[in-house]
């Protein structure tokens, strides 16, 4: 295995939060009219992976489970410096909760093989469960570290990892291979290389795998393979501002304001 071998980055494409709508009938997220982006902390995970590659050697491979329209975002990751990208895409995956999602990602990582470090973002901006990194680690039977702000060093088959805790951070020693969930803002993701971007857009093709390629049956994924079901969905709108202007001498304004606050309590 050269350097760290395969450094895996789990990358999700998410609709911009402000453009997401909910479909109350199917109780699913309606992304059809939203513009998409790479889930922001996943860019931090990719940057961390690229830095590890530069320091220790290895190959950075991006893995996604999602629909075919995610391909351009995988190409963007390659333009940023990833060596390869795998998209697991299959209609049977629709409706998967985190259980089949993590199973599918873990199977894809096992198929890639030769991995030492698996990096995820800390949380997606749409599903926001923060369960995927731990789930992937459990299926693979490897340790995982959450809220990672920095991978300090990798030496003698172990990594020194800095993770954020309330009021500070702690440093953990973890044996390879491991999964780490990288915090949003842990680093500054690099811009895609212009020439590499053009090459990736025109020539690079991510590997596209179906569930059959991963030895998974349709009942293990999707709604059937999920342990949870969305049974209710409610949109919470932020309260409207009253837009009331209080005028007069300062004492009267203070009095009116205090009265208005008390009424709201
Ligand atoms: C009952 C149920 C039904 C659902 N049905 C649908 C549906 O029909 N369509 C739909 O789009 N979603 C659906 N979801 C949401 C879907 O399960 C989650 O989006 C998915 O499991 C990932 O969870 P998350 O977004 O909370 O990821 P988090 O755990 O918050 O993400 C953390 C990190 O894990 C990695 N990661 C997460 N997801 C992926 C991925 N797909 N590929 C690669 N890396 C990833 C990223 O690095 C990310 O930063 C459903 C959820 C439930 C509970």
**What domains are there in the chain, each with its CATH number?**
6-225 (3.40.50.620)
Contact 32, 86 (CB under 8 A): no
* Model pTM score: 0.88
Q: Distance, CA 28 to ligand 1 centroid (Å)?
A: 12
**DSSP SS3 for 30:** strand
Which among 99, 176, 104 has a CA at the least distance from the CA of 143? Answer: 176
Among 164, 19, 178, CA closest to 109: 178
| Cα of 75 from ligand 1 centre, angstroms | 20
pLDDT at 27: 67
157 Cα: distance to centroid of ligand 1 (angstroms): 31
* Ligand 1: centre distance to CA 47 (Å): 21
Please count the other Cβ atoms lying within 10 Å of the Cβ belonging to residue 250: 7
Within 6 Å (CB) of ligand 1, which residues are found?
10-12, 28-29, 39, 41-42, 45, 64-66, 94-98, 101, 105, 120-121, 123-124, 126-133, 226, 228-230
**Nearest Cα residue to 117 out of 142, 90, 83, 82:** 142
DSSP assignment of 75-118 equals HHHHHHT-SEEEEE--GGGTT--HHHHHHHHHHHHHHH--EEEE
Q: How far is the CA of 225 from the centre of ligand 1 (A)?
A: 14
Ligand 1 atom closest to the Cα of residue 135 is 29
DSSP, collapsed to helix, strand or coil, labels residue 153 as strand
CA of 147 to the centre of ligand 1 (A): 18
The reported pLDDT for the residue numbered 33 is 83
- Ligand 1 atom 47: the closest Cα is on which residue? 120
Nearest CA to ligand 1 atom 10: 95
Which is the closest atom of ligand 1 to the Cα of 41?
Answer: 49
For 212, which DSSP code?
G
Atom of ligand 1 nearest to the CA of 88: 42
Would you give per-residue pLDDT tens digits along the chain (265 residues)?
789 999 999 999 999 887 887 777 776 767 778 899 999 999 999 999 999 999 999 999 999 999 999 999 999 999 999 999 999 999 999 999 999 999 999 999 999 999 999 999 999 998 889 999 999 999 999 999 999 999 999 999 999 999 999 999 999 999 999 999 999 999 999 999 999 999 999 999 999 999 999 999 999 999 999 999 888 777 777 778 878 899 999 999 999 999 988 988 8
What integer pLDDT is reported at residue 231 of this predicted model? 84
Distance in Å, CA 17 to ligand 1 centroid: 14
């Amino acid at each position: 295995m050269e350097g760290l071998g395969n450094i895996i980055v789990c990358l999700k494409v998410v609709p911009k939060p402000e453009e997401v709508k909910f479909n109350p009938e199917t109780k699913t997220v309606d992304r059809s009219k939203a513009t998409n982006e790479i889930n922001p902390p996943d860019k931090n995970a990719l940057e961390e992976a690229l830095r590890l590659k530069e320091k220790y050697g290895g190959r950075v491979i991006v893995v996604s489970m999602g629909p075919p329209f995610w391909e351009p975002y995988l190409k963007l990751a390659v333009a940023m410096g990833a060596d390869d990208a795998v998209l697991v895409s299959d209609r049977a995956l629709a409706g998967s909760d985190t259980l089949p999602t993590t199973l599918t990602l873990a199977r894809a990582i096992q198929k890639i093989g030769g991995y030492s470090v698996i990096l995820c973002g800390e949380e997606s901006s749409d599903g926001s469960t923060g369960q995927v990194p731990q789930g992937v680690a459990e299926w693979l039977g490897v340790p995982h570290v959450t809220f990672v702000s920095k991978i300090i060093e990798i030496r003698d088959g172990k990594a020194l990892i800095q993770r954020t805790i309330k009021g500070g951070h702690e440093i953990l020693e973890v044996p390879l291979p491991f999964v780490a969930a990288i915090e949003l803002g842990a680093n500054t993701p690099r811009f895609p290389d212009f020439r590499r971007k053009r090459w990736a857009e025109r020539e690079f093709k991510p590997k596209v795998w179906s569930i059959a390629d991963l030895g998974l049956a349709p009942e293990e994924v999707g709604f059937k393979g999920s342990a949870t079901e969305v049974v209710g969905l409610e949109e919470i709108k932020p309260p409207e501002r009253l837009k009331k202007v209080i005028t007069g001498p300062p004492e009267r304004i203070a009095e009116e304001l205090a009265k208005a606050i008390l009424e709201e309590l």
